[in-house]
Structure 1
Amino acid sequence: MSQKNLIIAFGGASPEHEVSVLTAMQVIAALDESDYTLTPLYITKSGNWLTGQKLLDLSNYKDLNELEASSTRCAFVKDEMGRTLLKEQEKQGLFTKPAAIPVYAVVTAFHGSDGENGSFQGTCEMFNIPYTGSGVLASSVGMNKVKAKQLCVANKIPVTDSLDFFEKNWEDDQATILKEAEMIGYPLIVKPCNLGSSIGVAKANSKDELIDAIETAFRYDAHLLVEEAIQPLMEINCSVLGSSTDCRASVCERPMGASEMLSFQDKYQSGGNAEKGMASADRIIPADISSELTEEIRELAVQTFKTFDASGVARLDFLVNADTKKVYFNEINTIPGSFSFYLWEKSELTFKALIEELVAVAIQNHQAKNGRVRSYQTNLLNEKAAKGIKGLKGLKK
């Protein structure tokens, strides 16, 4: 395929919808003078797939309803040659056919819930197209904070003490859950299991605050995580780039917030530069920590990236006891805000070069997958068809 049509996929039904739009706009700006032809694939909050040139300009997102009305619905389809196309579903005029764009690769710029949790990645797998970032497994496990911690425990990656429960458990036996939480000890951190960007996250210093935090978090997710709060706390993040067999770590950062625990506002709206996404947050890069602690965290970041079978670029967030310097895994972001380009710029890699490497890894992973046997030649159905429906009775035993 001579023309390199790069699909920028973003939006989605997620509380982090707007953050995803910001990341996508940063990608589009970075690739403005690249060899790729850029095509937006914007998924609305209600789940509609849209494309169109207006979607490439951030200023058009001031009125989402008007933008949706002036954009064109689209979908992945297969042509007669077996290629995947992004095809418009509406004709633009009486004598105009809907555009059908061959897909070279997809840049996934989703954040949270649908899009980062493996669902969109599964769609790409079904259509056998290259896509940036982690696959279905790492995406889904990475989004689920409980399963992520369980995977870390199984692989001897240090995590904080915690408990998790569902809304039904809370309704049936609130007293037992509160008792188990208090055994961990205040202060406690309450988190929705399947969200990011600090949405729904709160710190509780008493039973009343804990109950309030739990009730608030249930507005976002039916599965919650309550874990010990490290004190005094220092947060250190590190990005990892590559594949699960060949990857490298960036410099570390120490994010700064208005309070000890970073909020959504700290991450995306500090300094009045919300259009810069995660790049607007206050941070110290490289992190002002010892070289020994830096290397420990970078090595742990690579180990964790490989444990999750991650790919592309991810940001690994760690909690550090500022006194003892003990490090704990906090979470993995398989599609980090702004693709953590601000960490790679400090590692002498431009945003454009970062995206180009992500696409290269996606193509490499896709070629490796398609180099394996993906079907099994058999005449099973022919045999069963000859025997009729009765011949199916002995198929499974």
Structure 2
Amino acid sequence: MNQKNLIVAFGGISPEHEVSVLTAMQAMAALEESDYQLIPLYITKSGRWLTGNAAQDLNEYQDLSSLEKKAKDCAFVKDENGRTLLRELDSGGLFKKTAEYPVYAVLCAFHGSEGENGSFQGLCESMNIPYTGSGVLGASLGMDKVMAKKVAASEGVKVVKGINFYESDWESEQDDIIQISESMGFPLIIKPVTLGSSIGVFKVMDTPSLIEAVETAFRYDAHLLIEEAIDPLMEINCSVMGTSENCRASVCERPMGKDETLSFEDKYQGDAGSSKGMASADRIIPADISTDLNRRIREMAVKAFKALDAAGLVRIDFLVNAQTEEVYFNEINTIPGSFSFYLWDHSDVSFKQLLEELVEIGIDRHQQKNGRVRSYDTNLLSEKAVKGIKGLKGSKG
């Protein structure tokens, strides 16, 4: 009987590292009574791959240096039959067999940077293993706020007016950038292009504050976005699950923050406790909005999901003018904090059921890909073919 080894991958080199750890721990707790054997794959802040019992204990993450000594280094490898395994690299003794786990699927619980931007997804593709969430294209689009907005806008999804620029542009064209920003009118929102969790996001009311915010945001990302602030603002989020061919939207939520724009502290350090991740944030579910606005946002969420080639489970954040009810696409989170389970819980889908469906979507996508023709029997490196290639080298143009 084949064990269903579910590799839960999390951590990584990202400012959202700790948030990813919380999401992974929540997911593993929810799947304790499932048919999967849960195998943690913790990627440290320096990029080491670790596994073992210590990597599955949230308390161990209070001392990362101690955790790294207790956990086992690991890597994806191929066996003689072409199967992908997660193998511990430290056998622990001369006569102890190296632990290895044939991979059933990978549950991606990363937030930000290499784990969520398509890089890890590309590794899974190259190792030919099923994984959850969007593919390489959808993941990379979702991580880049500028490209995501361009693609969404091209499909008729409304976005807020803004300007984006790199650190080198700021050094050479600062006056022009400031002038364009001022022409949009204050207040303005400054945000890193490739980060989430509201890290490095600022609302500014004047030019000196704008300059200070830009300089600070460049600590997190070399590419920034300055946008008009919607006033009066109401943030509404909606989760979508499935594939481009078949997907559905959750109920909507209205997150509540100390200010109009949610901060990292609002999302992860609320009164309910940081160990709950995004589930600790204050929110109204279902959102206290009109039936028409609810319908439009859910339809727009599905439209953006398809336009951005998303898959698995995402959360799409919208900015709403509370007075006019105009809706603007803000961003897509291809691996949302806590997997947005709290939105689906209100749709009568438990966290365990949500994760199991997410894994099965990944399995189905993998099987569909492998069902296509991926190679030809013709060997171009056969003796005859090689002779032909050598002949081409000797031909004169």
Report if the CA contact (8 A) 1:166-1:222 is conserved. Answer: yes
Q: Are 1:74 and 2:81 an aligned pair?
A: no
The TM-score with structure 1 as length reference comes to: 0.97
Pairs within 5 Å for 1:217-228: 217-228=217-228
User: Which segments of 5 or more consecutive residues in structure 1 lack a partner in the other structure?
Assistant: none
**Counterpart-to-counterpart distance in 1, 2:142 and 2:244:** 14
Kindly provide the amino acid, as one letter, of the partner of residue 324 in structure 1. Answer: T
Q: 2:300 is paired with a residue of what secondary structure? A: helix
Does the C-alpha gap of structure 1 residues 128 and 252 become closer, same or farther in structure 2, counting only changes over 3 Å? same
Give SS of 1:198's match: coil
Q: Which residue of 2 aligns with 1:385?
A: 386
- When structure 1 is superposed on structure 2, of 52-61 and 333-342 the one drifting more is 52-61
Matched, 1:83 2:68: no
Partner of 1:264: 264
- CA 1:344/1:392 → structure 2, altered by over 3 Å: closer, same or farther? farther
Give, in angstroms, the shift of residue 377 of structure 1: 3.3
Are 1:106 and 1:131, in contact at CA under 8 Å, matched by a contact in 2? yes
User: What amino acid does structure 1 have at the position aligned with 2:39?
Assistant: T
Are the counterparts in 2 of residues 257 and 263 from structure 1 also a CA contact under 8 Å?
yes
Q: Distance in 1 between matches of 2:231 and 2:135?
A: 35
- Say which SS state the counterpart of residue 114 (structure 1) adopts: helix
The within-5 A match list for 1:330-341 is 330-341=330-341
Q: How many residues align?
A: 395
Q: Decide whether the 8 Å contact of 2:272 with 2:281 is kept in 1.
A: no
Give the Cα separation in 1 of the matches to 2:346 and 2:360.
21
Structure 1 residue matching 2:271: 3-state secondary structure? helix
Query: Quick check: 1:384–1:391 contact (8 Å CA) kept in 2?
Result: no
SS of the equivalent of 1:270 reads coil
CA distance in 1, matches of 2:378, 2:305: 38
Deviations 1:319-368 (A, max 9, x none): 00000000000000000000000000001000000000001101100000
Q: Which moved further from structure 2: 375-384 or 310-319?
A: 375-384
Determine the C-alpha separation between the residues in 2 that align with 1:261 and 1:142.
20
Matches within 5 A, 1:203-242: 203-242=203-242
Question: Could you say what secondary structure the match of 2:87 adopts?
Answer: strand
TM-score with structure 2 length normalisation? Answer: 0.97
Structure 1, residues 235-273: CA drift from partner, whole Å, max 9, x if none? Answer: 000000111111110000000001111000000011051
State the alpha-carbon separation in 2 of the partners of residues 384 and 70 from structure 1. Answer: 53
Match of 2:367?
A: 367
The aligned counterpart of 1:245 is 245
Separation of aligned partners in 2, 1:41 and 1:153: 37
- State the 1:174 CA deviation: 0.5
Counterpart CA distance in 1 for 2:210 and 2:391 is 60
Q: Cα distance 1:390–1:287, how it changes in 2: closer, same or farther (>3 A)?
A: same
Instruction: Give the drift of 1:183.
Output: 1.6
1:115-194 aligned at under 5 Å gives the runs 115-194=115-194
Deviation at 1:380?
A: 2.8
Which of structure 1's runs of 4+ aligned residues deviate more than 2 A? 376-394
State the secondary structure of the residue aligned to 1:380.
coil
Verify: 1:57 aligned to 2:57, yes or no: yes
Pairwise CA distance, 1:376: 2.7
- Runs (5+) with no aligned partner, structure 2: none
| Aligned-residue offset at 1:381 | 2.9
Query: Structure 2: how far apart are the matches of 1:259 and 1:103?
Result: 44
State the identity as a percent: 63
